[in-house]
Structure 1
C-alpha cells in the first residue's frame, strides 16, 4: 500500500474558461531583437528562455492600414512573433518579371519594416509552395500551365492535378532557384542579424503533402530517372544493393541492370519480396525529398541568410516521413515542427480536440523532442478554412492548453487575423476569414481571449518555459513503423506487420497508459544514447521486423539492468525483412505463433480475466526459468511470461494486440509495469480525465484534461520526490483543461 504523506499543498486551480487579468506584456519579450535560437528543450532570445507565441499574418491579405494595429493586438495577447507566406504567384505573376512594390499585397518590405518597428520576430515562408487556399497552391499559374512536364505523376503516368509538381524535377529546381534569387536578397536585408525582424526562414510547406493527399507518391519519370543507369532511383538502389544480382535476389526478379528496375504499383501485396520492393521505393522517395529540402537550404544559405531554417511536417502522421530530413539537416540550425489541426471540414476524424487527437498530439510532440527539437506546432488551429464545423473558443482553449500540458514549447496560430484574398487568387471565398481570432475587418472574436490566457500564463510563470514532463515509463519509437502505411497494406506472410505495430502503439499501449494516468515519455530506438537510464520500464510494440541496430540497443539496455515489456511479437527479421534473430536469441529463442486455433480466445493475465484483444500470439519453448503470467483458457497456450535474466534486467512478453476499450486493459498494463518496477507518479480515479505533471526546479504544475463531451470529476494524487500529494477532487466541464500548481 502506498503511504500518503500529510503535506500542505498550495493548490492554484485555474478553470480555463476564465481569462487571465491584463496579460498585456509579451510572453518572453525578445531581448532587443537578439537572434532567435533554440536548444533541444526550448527557444532562446539573447541566451534567455523564450516561449515563442506567433500568429500567421498575411501582408497580402490584411490591408496596409491595419498592419500596425493588428500586430499590436498580437502583442497585447502575449505574442512575440508573426509568420507570413511570401507567395510566389503574387510576386512573379509573369515569368521573369518580379515585383515587390506597389500595391499593398506586394509590399513585403513595408510589412517587414512595420514588424521591426513593433519589435516582433518574423518567420518568413517563401515556399516555393505555400498552399494557404491560393490558386495553384501559391505557385505562379505560368509555371504549372506552361510546363506541364513538371507535374507529379502516379505510377500509371497520369498527372495528380495541375498544381502538384514534382519537387526534384530539374526544371522545377531551376525555376525555384530564380525565385529564391529574387526573394532571398530581401529576406537577407531584413534578417535579425541585419537589424530586421526575420528570425527564421521556412523551407517549402508541408512537403510531400501535395502528392500523398492527391494520389500517391510521385513517379515522374524525369525526376526519378527511370530507365537511366545514373538516374536517381537507379543510384539509390546501387547504393543499397551494390549489385543487380542482389536486387534480383531481394525482389525475386531477373532485371538485367539497374536501369531496368521499375517500382511496383502500390496495391495490397502479400509476398515479402513485393513488399520489400514497395518499401524500397518509399524509402527512396522520403530520402529524395530530404534532398529537396537540403537543396532549398543551400539556395537560401547561398544568399548569406544565417538565421535558423525550418520546415513544418503536415501532420503527426507524416512526421516519420521526414526522418531522412532530420538526418541531413540536423537540429542545430534547422528546426522541424509540425502542423496539428483537429478539424478543417466535416470529413475530419473529429470536430473537437478529442482524447484520440490528444494521444496523437503527445506522440507528435514527443517525436520532435526525441529528435532534439523544442516541440513546435507551426500551424496551431486558430480557425478553419470551413465555417462549419466551427472552431469555438471552448474547443480552442482545450486544444491549446492540452498542447501546453504535453510539451509544446512554441506555436504559430494559423491564422491570427483574416483579410481579403488577392483579386482572383483565392480558392475558397474572396474573403479569407478562416474564423480567425481577429477577423478580416479587425473584429475581435471570443478565442482571442484564449490566446491572452496563454500569454498571461507565460508572463506570470516564466519558469514554465523550461518545465519538463515527469514520466514513469518509456515507450520506444521506431520511426520506420510510423510510415509503414505507405508499403504495408495487409499482414501477408508476417505474423504482425509494421503498420499494425504503429497503430497498436498509439491506440493500444499509449492510450491505455494515458487512461491509466501513467506518464509515458518516448525514446528513439534508432539512437543508443538512452540505454544507461534504467530507472523506468520500457514498452516496445514490435512487429516481425526490427533493425539489427535496434535489437542490439535493446539487448544493451537489458544487460545494464533495464526492464522491457515487448508486445505482441518478438522480431525475427531486420528492417529489410531479412533474417535477424539477435533479440530472439538473447531472450532464449522462444517460438512465437499466432493464436488462430480458436475463434474466441479467453485470455487472462494473472487476476485480470477475459482481456479483449484484436489478435493474440502465444509462446512455446520459453526459457525454463521464465514465470508464466497469462494464458488462453481455451488452448492453455502461454500468452504472457516474465523472464528475469541473470545479472541483467527483466523482460515481459505479452502476446496481445489490443485496441484500448476496457478497464481490463488498464488493469493488465498497470500490473505488468508494476512487475517491471514502475513507480507511477499520478493516481487518478477517472480514466477519462488525463493528466500531465511538469516540473522546473522546485515548481510543479499538474494539468487535468477532460476532452469528453460531458462534465467529469476526478480525485487526483501526484507523487513528487517520493511523497504523495493529495490535490483533491476536481470538477471539469466538457472540453476543459485545468492546472494545479503544487508547491
Structure 2
C-alpha cells in the first residue's frame, strides 16, 4: 500500500460504525431503515441521533441481525486487512467500532429498550443473581421468572430499598457497551487479525467538570478485560483545561495504555467556538503533562466536513498548525516521554456505585451531544436534572457525592499534592501503588469496594473517606465489612488547632481515616498526607498546576510541567521539594536559573512550560 511504501504505521477503524461526519455514520441506509435493528426509547419509539446534517435512527447493538449484517462487512474488509498486519505489513492496531455510547443517548432512560436489549438485560440479571428468588429478595418483589422483569422506564424510587432495581439498569448499560464491543472484537479475531484492538469512548464534557462523565455508562476498566486498551477522545479548547486534566488523569490512572484515540487536529464544521493552533498546542501539552502515552491525531489532513487541519485537502500546509504538531512530536520523542512516569502518591477514587445512583435518579430524559451546546443542557446526569430525594439516607447521596468529590479534587489541586483519578473498579494490585486513596463514603458502599479498601489498608495503605461509614452494600443489605475493620478502642483523633477534624483507625500495616465533614478540605488532607510524605509540589500561586515525571533510571532528572490555565500572566515560582542544579525549558530551549529548591519564570496566559531538571 502507499502507506507501507512511505514507511507509515497504520491504525485502522473498520467500524461498523465510524461517524467521520458521514450522513449515515458509515452504515448502509438499508441497515438504518430496518426496524429490527433499531434501538428504542423507554416509550417504545425509535431512538434518534440528532446529528448533522440530518438525524438518523440509533441502532441496537443487542440485535443478532445487526451482527449478522456486520459479519458480511467484516468478511470482506478483514480478508484485505489481515494481509497487511504487523509484522508482514505496517498495520499495528485496530479500533473496534467508534464512540459506542448508545449513539450519544447517555441518559439512562433514553435508550436502549428494544426487545433484544431487554432480553440482554434479563440475561444480565439472571447471571448476576443466579435465581429469581435471590432477585426477588433484593427487589422485594414476587417475579415468577426473569422474563417478567422489565427495565425501569423512569426513576420512581421512594426509599433506598428501591435503589437496586434502578441501579441494576445502570450497571447493565455498562455491560451492554462492554459485551457489544467484546462480540465485535471476537468477530475480528475470528477473521485472523492479531494486532492490538482498542475502543474510543466519546469525549465526556458535562457541566459537572471533574465529577461528570468519566464513569457510567462507560467502564474503561471493564472493557479492558476484553480489549487491549481503551481511551477517551478529546476535542477541547484552552479554556477547558480542567476537562482535559480530568479525562487524562482518569485514563492514566485506569488504563494499561493511556491513549487518546481521537485527539483534536482541526474540527467538524458545527463545533461551536472552535479555537486556533494556540489551543491545540495548549491542549496537547496538557495531555502530555498529565501522563498520556499515545494519541491519534484527528485529522492531520482535511477532508469533507472537517476543517482547520494542519494539511489542507489540496496538500497545502497551514504553517502555524503544522509547526505545532511537528514540534510536539519532535519534543516527545526526543525527550522519551513514553518511558517517563508520573510521580504520584495519591489516588482520588470515583465511587462507581454513587455514580450509578446519580445516573439512575435522572428526571429529565434528554438526547445529547449535537443539541447539547445549543440548548445548554447536558445528557450527563448532574445536580440540575437528578432527584433531590434522600431515599431514607441522611442526605441525597446522588447530589452530595459530587460535592464531596469536588472538594477533595480542588483541595488536592490547590495544595500541590500529586494525584491521579480512577474508580472503584480499579484492580487491587493497582490500588497498592499509592500511599493514599481518597474516596467518598455514605451509608451504603459496594461489598467488593469495602473489602478492597480494608485489604489495601491492611497492606500498608491509607484510606481517607467520608462523610459517613457504610452499613449497607449496593443491594441495600446489611454489610459492615469496612466498619468491622475499625477498632474504636484504637482510634485516635485527627486534631488541628484544638479542633477534631476526624478519626484515624489503624488497620493492619495501614490506616483508615474517617472525615465526617470537610469544613477545610485543604487542612484535613494536608494533616494526613504530610505524615505519609506524599509528593507535593511548591507554587506561589494556587492557579498554577504542576506535574512531575521521571525515568526509572534517572530519578534525579525529572521533567516538570508547569501550567497557567488562566487568562492572565503569572510570575511563577515553583519547585518539587528538591534542590536543582540545572533547569531548562525544552519547548523554547531557555535556560532557567535555579534558586535552591525553586525557580522563577513568567508564564503568559494559557501557557504550559516543560522543564528538564537536573538535581
Partner SS state of residue 297, structure 2 = strand
Go from structure 1 to structure 2 and tell me whether the alpha carbon gap of 1:335 and 1:505 turns closer, same or farther (over 3 Å shift).
farther
Structure 1 residue 273: Cα displacement: 3.3
Q: Is the 8 A contact 2:444 2:470 kept in 1?
A: yes
Matches of 1:288 and 1:574, distance apart in 2: 23
- The equivalent residue for 2:166 is 278
The match for 2:502 among 622, 641, 645 is 641
Residues 105-151 of structure 1 show CA distances to partners (whole Å, capped at 9, x for unaligned) of xxxxxxxx111111111111111111122112221112112x12321
Matches of 1:502 and 1:447, distance apart in 2: 41
Residues 40-83 of structure 1 show CA distances to partners (whole Å, capped at 9, x for unaligned) of xxxxxxxxxxxxxxxxxxxxxxxxxxxxxxxxxxxxxxxxxxxx
Instruction: Please show how residues 13-24 of structure 1 align to structure 2 within 5 Å.
Output: none
- The equivalent residue for 1:557 is 456
Matches of 1:211 and 1:223, distance apart in 2: 19
The match for 2:94 among 173, 179, 201 is 201
Q: Which moved more, 1:717-726 or 1:208-217?
A: 717-726
Q: Is the 8 A contact 2:573 2:599 kept in 1?
A: yes
The match for 1:356 among 242, 260, 266 is 242
Structure 1 residue 208: Cα displacement: 2.0
- The equivalent residue for 2:542 is 687
Q: Is the 8 A contact 1:500 1:543 kept in 2?
A: no
- The equivalent residue for 2:365 is none
Structure 1 residue 295: Cα displacement: 1.4
- 5+ residue gaps, structure 2: 49-55, 205-211, 362-385, 582-594
Q: Is the 8 A contact 1:681 1:720 kept in 2?
A: no
Q: Is the 8 A contact 1:683 1:718 kept in 2?
A: yes
Matches of 1:283 and 1:565, distance apart in 2: 26
Matches of 1:208 and 1:299, distance apart in 2: 20
Instruction: Please show how residues 225-374 of structure 1 align to structure 2 within 5 Å.
Output: 226=118, 231-267=119-155, 269-316=157-204, 319-321=214-216, 326-327=221-222, 330=225, 334-342=228-236, 351-369=237-255, 373-374=256-257
Instruction: Please show how residues 68-107 of structure 1 align to structure 2 within 5 Å.
Output: none
Q: Which moved more, 1:518-527 or 1:448-457?
A: 518-527
Q: Is the 8 A contact 2:170 2:216 kept in 1?
A: no
Matches of 1:322 and 1:387, distance apart in 2: 24
Q: Is the 8 A contact 1:409 1:465 kept in 2?
A: yes
- When Rg is computed on C-alpha atoms for both structures, the one with the higher figure is 1
Q: Is the 8 A contact 2:58 2:103 kept in 1?
A: yes
Matches of 1:215 and 1:577, distance apart in 2: 21
Matches of 1:269 and 1:725, distance apart in 2: 59
The match for 1:485 among 339, 350, 358 is 358
Go from structure 1 to structure 2 and tell me whether the alpha carbon gap of 1:628 and 1:458 turns closer, same or farther (over 3 Å shift).
closer
Go from structure 1 to structure 2 and tell me whether the alpha carbon gap of 1:531 and 1:304 turns closer, same or farther (over 3 Å shift).
closer
Matches of 1:444 and 1:666, distance apart in 2: 48
The match for 2:567 among 709, 715, 721 is 709
Go from structure 1 to structure 2 and tell me whether the alpha carbon gap of 1:198 and 1:287 turns closer, same or farther (over 3 Å shift).
same
- The equivalent residue for 2:529 is 673
The match for 1:401 among 277, 285, 291 is 285
Matches of 1:561 and 1:302, distance apart in 2: 44
Matches of 2:469 and 2:307, distance apart in 1: 48
Q: Is the 8 A contact 1:473 1:678 kept in 2?
A: no
Matches of 2:561 and 2:178, distance apart in 1: 37
- The equivalent residue for 2:340 is 467
Any runs of at least 4 consecutive aligned residues in structure 1 with deviations exceeding 6 A, and if so which? Answer: 322-325, 721-724
Structure 1 residue 702: Cα displacement: 0.6
Q: TM-score, normalization: structure 1?
A: 0.69
Matches of 2:177 and 2:241, distance apart in 1: 32
Matches of 1:329 and 1:358, distance apart in 2: 21
Matches of 1:641 and 1:580, distance apart in 2: 23
- The equivalent residue for 2:327 is 453
Q: Which moved more, 1:321-330 or 1:477-486?
A: 321-330
Q: Does 1:566 align with 2:439?
A: no
Matches of 1:341 and 1:702, distance apart in 2: 24
Go from structure 1 to structure 2 and tell me whether the alpha carbon gap of 1:191 and 1:628 turns closer, same or farther (over 3 Å shift).
closer
Matches of 1:493 and 1:273, distance apart in 2: 9
Q: Cα RMSD over matched residues? A: 3.0
Go from structure 1 to structure 2 and tell me whether the alpha carbon gap of 1:530 and 1:190 turns closer, same or farther (over 3 Å shift).
closer
Q: Is the 8 A contact 2:412 2:418 kept in 1?
A: yes
Structure number with higher relative contact order (C-alpha < 8 Å, ≥ 6 residues apart)? 1
Structure 1 residue 628: Cα displacement: 5.3
- The equivalent residue for 2:15 is 127
Q: Is the 8 A contact 1:359 1:510 kept in 2?
A: no
- 5+ residue gaps, structure 1: 1-112, 343-350, 421-431, 589-621, 659-663
Q: How many residues align?
A: 555
Q: Is the 8 A contact 2:39 2:114 kept in 1?
A: no
Q: Does 1:382 align with 2:265?
A: yes
- The equivalent residue for 2:46 is 159
